[in-house]
Structure 1
Amino acid sequence: MKSILKNLAPAAKRAVWIGIGVVSLLIGAIGTFLPVLPTTPFVILAAFAFGKSSPYLQDILETNAVFGPIILDWRRNGAIALRYKVVSIGMMASLLTLSVILNASPTVLVIQAVAIAAASLFILSRPGTAV
């Protein structure tokens, strides 16, 4: 990615970073409603991309009531707040339960279970805060 951006004009680099930020933020926002998409990594990526392209957009994101605490907690401690851990793992477990109820194929269930286990382990391995 860095080598691609190296050859772009400053305005083009800024546009690419803004695009990455917008797409990441949209995916993160969708992830607040869909248990298959994690919110935190995409919001953090959006903040990083906006930091490379637009301090104004970065400031809006970091002062947002929903996403701001996630970003600041990650920057300060590499942490995910306990309530976000509980919600994300609960939503993933609900999705897996729904797949079992809907009689998904064993292959789909195994893939889901492995992905959910990996995501849950990552989430649980992060320090937690009370936010």
Structure 2
Amino acid sequence: MRRVILLSIGMLALALGTLGIFLPLLPTTPFVLLAAWCFARSSPAFHHWLYQRSVFGPLLRHWEQHRALPPGAKRRAVAMILLSFGVSLWWVDTGWIRLLLLILLAGLLLMMWRLPVRAAPPDPR
């Protein structure tokens, strides 16, 4: 039963993470990390599948090995956060929603600022 629950949560998290690529206020990274965690504890096949995807695999493998983002990932993430929030703030006319968006933006930028960045060591080959 635990396996089925973790697998279901992993699938839902992966779906939400994938939607987060396209929707401005839905985060991608936390959902993909949750999916990886759930799959690691419920289905080695899905865990392997997720780590082999070209979209999420390299970042997941780098995070697992170094507990840090690869160089450039933080800069791209911050740029996308600023772009998506900028568009959202431009579309919204209600003052309290703008304030809420600015608070969310500040929280996300603080979270991103705290994430470490580390380059992978050069391949010895």
Report TM bin, short chain.
0.7 to 0.9
Aligned partner of 2:123 in structure 1 is none
Distance 1:57 1:83 in 2: 28
Q: How far has the Cα of 1:110 moved from its partner?
A: 1.0
Q: How many residues are matched?
A: 120
Residues 30-45 of structure 1: pairs in structure 2 closer than 5 A? 30-45=19-34
Aligned partner of 1:124 in structure 2 is 113
Could you tell me the percent identity over the aligned residues? 31
Q: Does 1:89 align with 2:78?
A: yes
Q: Does 1:18 align with 2:41?
A: no
Equivalent in 50, 57, 60 of residue 71 of structure 1: 60
Q: Does 1:57 align with 2:75?
A: no
Q: Does 1:114 align with 2:103?
A: yes
Distance 1:28 1:19 in 2: 14
Q: How far has the Cα of 1:112 moved from its partner?
A: 0.6
Gaps of 5+ in 1: 1-11
Gaps of 5+ in 2: 121-125
- TM-score for both structures, normalised by structure 1: 0.80
Distance 2:119 2:22 in 1: 22
Distance 1:23 1:128 in 2: 28
Over the residues paired in the alignment, what is the CA RMSD in angstroms? 1.9
